[in-house]
Amino acid sequence: MLFKLSLLSVAVSSLPYLVFFKGQPPFYMASGLILLTVALVGTWKGLLPSRRHLPLLLYLSYLPLAYFLSGSSQGVFALKTAGYFLGAYTSVVIMGRVLGEERGLKILANFLSFFSAAGLFFLALDLFGMRNFAVMSGMKIPYLGIHPIRSLVFGPNYFSILALMGFALSLYLFNSGERIYLLHTSLNLLGIVLSFSRAGYLALGVFLAVYLINRRGTRALLFILPGAMALFLLPRFLQISKGMTGREAIWPLAWELIKDFPVSGWGMGVEKIFAATGIKWGSAHNTFLDVGLMFGLVGLILYAVMFLYTLALVFREKSWKRELLLPLLPSLLVLSFFTTFVVGGFSLGSQLAGIFLGMGMKE
């Protein structure tokens, strides 16, 4: 039951990002209700935190404290804070355990590969002149001359998160002897490349570097360094002239806002925080800055420690977790600097990030 409910929560959490249902609040509410059910059933079945979950518990303990210190008086902020608590606890403590097995990894790999396959399908429609049916960006990828794919999900950076997670899972399963996952690996790799997301490219580079060093040792640097240097010969492909697409302006502003309330943060809702100060952005496009805005520097530090602690656990592992998570977690950290998927949120990226952290903390 827990296994099926966990998969259902992951599936429902993807719906608000689909073109057909974009931003529909009922799906977030449905995802939250499923998470609550998973938490209750999981607790009843004895899936309780262990000492490996200590950094998570410290972070979770600070959320209600930050809420009271911020002076947030509206009930909706208390509800959202409780939602983040519930989402992080459930995805890490319970879902990371029940989905951290071969059956769960396969289903997640198939699910995430669907988005890359859909993106390539729409690209094919676009190339055959059926752009009215395609979900494509208006720009074109330099040197290739084709439109970047966006799959069924809006935003190249967010799509690259899903494709990277799918790539990591599929590559692990392929290396484990599941040869059919070579197709999934290829689809997700193409998805990342054709998303035209610079954050996705950087995260992919980190993944491949850590993956090769983990398998081949420092000899892998002989291949990694020339490849990295070659990219700088393609300035148009790296979109250097575009700068940081607004992040160079919003990040300093977000940091100044964090310094205004460094202990408590501003309370829940980054979009409302920006709106109160005359900024029209919906987020800082940086997971850590968004956490800092909501929960202050203390919350930001505890959140970062949770990731780094899990990475340290995985580094000492000799099991399948090292093969899968050692390259994936640093890649997710890189993506966290350019887009937002806070562990505890009800969105797809947030839930999956929590699940992978949970796998790393699994006994």
What are 45-75's pLDDT values in tens digits? Answer: 999 999 999 999 999 999 888 888 877 656 6
Residues of the chain with pLDDT under 70: 19-24, 72-76, 131-138, 143, 153-154, 218-246, 269-272, 274-282
Q: What is the pLDDT of residue 167?
A: 95
pLDDT value of residue 168:
96
- Read off the DSSP letter of residue 137: -
| HSE, side-chain direction, 13 A CA sphere, residue 126 | 20
What's the Cα-to-Cα distance from 122 to each of 63, 114, 129, 145, 354, rounded to whole Å?
Answer: 41, 12, 11, 16, 30
Please give the share of the chain, as a percent, with pLDDT higher than 90. 41
CB 265 within 8 A of CB 70: yes
Q: What pLDDT is attached to residue 67?
A: 82
What is the model's pLDDT at position 199? Answer: 86
- Residue 280 has a pLDDT of 67
Q: What is d(CA 182, CA 179) in angstroms, rounded to the nearest whole number?
A: 6
Q: Which three-class secondary structure state does DSSP give residue 179? A: coil
Over residues 74-128, the pLDDT tens digits come to 666 778 888 899 999 999 999 999 999 999 999 999 999 999 998 888 888 877 7
Q: Map residue 345 onto helix, strand or coil.
A: strand
What angle (nearest 5°) sits at the alpha carbon of residue 120, between those of residues 115 and 126?
125
Residue 229 one-letter amino acid: M
Query: In the block, which residue shows the tokens 């899936």?
Result: 47
Dig out the tokens for 136 from the structure.
Answer: 């494509």
Structure pTM? 0.90
Q: What is the pLDDT of residue 40?
A: 95
pLDDT of residue 139: 73
What pLDDT is attached to residue 340?
Answer: 85
> In this predicted structure, what is the pLDDT of residue 246?
67
At residue 178, what are phi and psi to the nearest 5 degrees?
-85, 85
Give pLDDT, residue 222.
Answer: 65
Name residue 136's beta-bridge partners: 149
CA distance 212 to 218: 9
Tell me how many degrees the CA angle 150-154-157 measures, rounded to the nearest 5: 75
